[in-house]
Structure 1
Amino acid sequence: MTNLSRFLEARTNDYRLIRHKQQAHFGGIDILVNNAGRGRGGPIEEIPFETYQRMIAVNVIWVFVATQEAARHIKPSGRIIQIGSSVTRYAAFPTASLYTLTKGAISGFNRSLVRDSGAKRITITTVHTDPTDTDMNPADGRVAKIVGPGTTIGHYGQPTEIVSAVAFLAGAENVADGR
């Protein structure tokens, strides 16, 4: 078993344990919000394979596992909300190909997941964010100098803006079609 396989197995078991504890305490799942993200970049020819594997693990496989587990236990009319990225819709910035690959996978995954979940009345939504001011990607950091000028809203986003959008989409009165 590779180090990556051990990592994935451990994280999958961690998630299942968390879900079991949550279900025992609160009952079924109403809402899943997947905010997985690891950002590493560079020229494609220079990205180590281990970096690729880790980003696929965190940004794609982990999202799949969490979504799969939630889908097994989510209540009818539940919500699955994935945090995506605006880089999947627009030309990103230099050195973003690996990150764009992983976030593009989530975008495509959700477009098909809508069809799988519609009969169960589970709403699937992707929130495509612009760069957001976080510890991993501060608005005054190295990457901000590259991506800041190209943001669609003219400034780095704030986590509270994403929280507000997610809270709105999670509301029982709001039904989105996943587009």
Structure 2
Amino acid sequence: MHSPAIILSHARPFAKFPTGTAVQAFVIGVILLWTGASAHAADGRGGAQTAAEAVASLYALVDGSRSRCPHAFPETAAAHERALSRFTARHPGLISRLRRSPHYEHARRQFAAESAYDPARDTAQNLDPECSVQTGILELMTDSDAGLNAVRRYDALLSK
């Protein structure tokens, strides 16, 4: 297991997102999951990532991004849509478990309250980096060994 300092150093490129945003929380959650550390290692609580946290992270990546990323610059929006389509086609079981989870509605409501697309705030310029990061994560979780391991961990967590 990696130390929290090492884990958080992987997240520094994503610090440009305002602290506490769903995207920043998601990115840090995925990094923690990929490195084999618990989702709570950075704050000292200990313990494994909960199903509710996994659902919130996956909701932001899959369903939440569907409402935000079409408003990024066209090239980024198209790349995101391709990556999302490939991810959902490659992992239909995970997507099904995500949407059947008892935590799904809470994640949906929380995302809508905190991160839903707002045309006054969410310009293409603001959304472009967020959607580029999400595209990269989707591609990693579709094609890389580390990403596929993360998907297996999410799948196992949501199968309990």
TM class, shorter-chain normalised? under 0.3
TM-score, normalised to structure 2, is: 0.27
Larger Rg: 1
Larger relative contact order (Cα-Cα within 8 Å, sequence gap ≥ 6): 2
Higher strand proportion? 1
Higher helix proportion? 2
TM-score, normalised to structure 1, is: 0.25
